[in-house]
Amino acid sequence: MSLYVFENTERFAKKANDFEAKSLLYLLGSHPDKVAIQTCTIDCFNDVTGINEDRLWDLQSKNYSTITPKMIGGFLITLYKNFVSDFDFEDFILFVPTIEQKRLEEGAVPPYSYSDFTMESKDKINEGLESEIKTKGLSPEKLKEFLGKIRIVTDNRKIASYVKSVCSFRRKTVVGNESYERIFKEIRDKQTALKNSEIEGIKIEKPSDVLQLGRHISRADIETLIITRLVGGELFKNRGIPPEFHSETRGMDVDGIRDVIQECNSNLAKAFFDKNKSKTAWKVFEVLLEALQLGKNPTIDEALEKVMEINGIPNTILNERTIKYLASIMKEGLHED
């Protein structure tokens, strides 16, 4: 029987820093297997670990401005511990700010593998890892095999780009980097909140059991947070008619169109900002978001059909026309490059 014991985990709410949040968004938005990585655990197997049922992608983050090869070796110990555990991990990533070019072979480009380092650097990496293996009482038998599997990813992007990479919703012409940076801070704070528990010494028999510990965040959680913040800023701006909403105003004169748009905006404001109605409004939003992200380019009428399945919707505030208007705004953002 497989068994994994959580050891040396962070106890209670140690504040997540920007670098840890970047590593989370890297897995969800930029990793080659990002489509498969639907959930990430926080400070369980490692700083961040992607999970999909019993598939695992492991990441250790280290935010040091200067990193020597021997330090790299030491940083790899948790990844190595997971490599020799009973569980199978698909990737072993060290996420760092930068690697000095002099430590690398000519022509090496990120993400770096062990083979990209100079012979002198490799020796120091080995030395650092071997020292940690001895300290932890682990067997060095699989060290060579492990080093052949590591990937070192460097942080060479702005905060806003990490947020944008996770979600396909774009309003580049009206949303500045400041808005994405505020969203990033919210994600970081959510990450911190997940650390407010004690899991030291807990044993699990299969990777998916970790989800019972409540230290995870899903791609859907992150995408919904991002889009709600972006759409929240978009809904009540002065704007033209979303392209897919033209069919709802066909045949109307200018005053009639203006009245329809004003009514829809008024209804949305009442729905989202009235505490007695906002829960229903966000449920409609989530259903629309799921419908519009299925990849089949559904019409706003098809998206409305999904909402119609919710009891009590449409109603006098979120009527069919208002829901179609909201869907058309969301769809415009989701398909704008």
The pLDDT value recorded for residue 243 is 87
Q: In this structure, are residues 132 and 75 in contact, taking their beta carbons and an 8 Å threshold? A: no
Comparison of pLDDT for 17 and 91, the residue scoring more: 91
pLDDT exceeds 50 at position 216: yes
The pLDDT value recorded for residue 151 is 98
Domain positions in the chain: 4-169, 235-334
Confidence of residue 13 (pLDDT cuts 50, 70, 90): very low
In eight-state DSSP terms, residue 61 is E
Mean pLDDT of 120-136: 98
Comparison of pLDDT for 297 and 233, the residue scoring more: 297
Mean pLDDT of 62-85: 96
Comparison of pLDDT for 334 and 173, the residue scoring more: 334
Mean pLDDT of 254-272: 87
Mean pLDDT of 74-102: 97
Rounded Cα distance between 308 and 306, Å, is 5
Rounded Cα distance between 299 and 305, Å, is 10
Note the pTM of the prediction, 2 decimals.
0.76
pLDDT exceeds 60 at position 159: yes
Q: How many residues does the chain have?
A: 337
Confidence of residue 173 (pLDDT cuts 50, 70, 90): very low
Beta bridge partners of 151: 93
Strand blocks (E) in the chain: 4-5, 39-42, 48-52, 55-61, 91-96, 150-154, 203-204, 216-218
Identity of residue 208: S
pLDDT exceeds 90 at position 73: yes
Confidence of residue 67 (pLDDT cuts 50, 70, 90): very high
The pLDDT value recorded for residue 172 is 41
Mean pLDDT of 249-260: 91
Confidence of residue 12 (pLDDT cuts 50, 70, 90): very low
Please give the order of strands across the beta sheet that includes 48-52: 150-154, 91-96, 55-61, 48-52, 39-42, 216-218
The pLDDT value recorded for residue 117 is 98
